[in-house]
A = this chain, B = another copy of it.
């Protein structure tokens, strides 16, 4: 498949919106993401349904944040975009009654569950404010670009 870049893109957009003032239109966000307004509406729509941003139609409308960067974690955005687990184990279903297949799957699933726990822990303790801080700190020189 094409790799899933929604989480990275949404983090980018949210930090952008918070840092550079207020409302942004789908068209402008599409330009900064190098894509199409429809893709933006689709993806930001999921964040709206989870109370992270708000949208307003009509002239002068657009998107704005519903929370501050301090009140949004990476995990919040992740959950808005994908229900269910973050990682998946890639098990096999070739011979469901076979104990060996079940044991193999169980080992892989348990390992992935441990890795996912680690990932969720980091996502849950990383706020978008932290990303903004890193960006401001590291991007000072290149900001004039």
Q: Which residues of A contact B (CB under 8 A)?
A: 1, 3-9, 11-12, 15-16, 19, 32-35, 74, 87-92, 94-95, 97-108, 110-112, 114-116, 118-119, 122-123, 126, 130-132, 134-136, 138-140, 142-143, 145
Contacts and interface: CB of A to CB of B under 8 A. Distances in A.
Contact of A100 (B3, B110, B139): B139
A111 B122 contact: yes
B107 A130 contact: yes
Q: Across the A-B interface, give the 7 residue pairs with the lowest CB-CB distance, nearest first.
A: A99-B139, A103-B135, A11-B104, A8-B92, A115-B119, A103-B134, A111-B122
A131 B105 CA distance: 9
Contacts of A19: 100
A9 to B, nearest CB: 5
Given A5-B92, A8-B91, A134 B108 contact: no
A87 B115 contact: yes
Nearest to A86: B115
B105 A8 contact: yes
Contact of A34 (B94, B105, B130, B134): B94
Given A12-B104, A103-B131, A104-B15, A142 B97 contact: yes
> Which of A11, A99, A110, A136 has the most chain B CB within a 10 Å cutoff?
A99
20 contacts: A3-B88, A4-B90, A7-B108, A8-B105, A8-B108, A11-B104, A12-B94, A12-B98, A12-B104, A15-B100, A15-B104, A32-B98, A33-B95, A34-B94, A99-B140, A102-B135, A103-B131, A107-B134, A111-B119, A112-B119
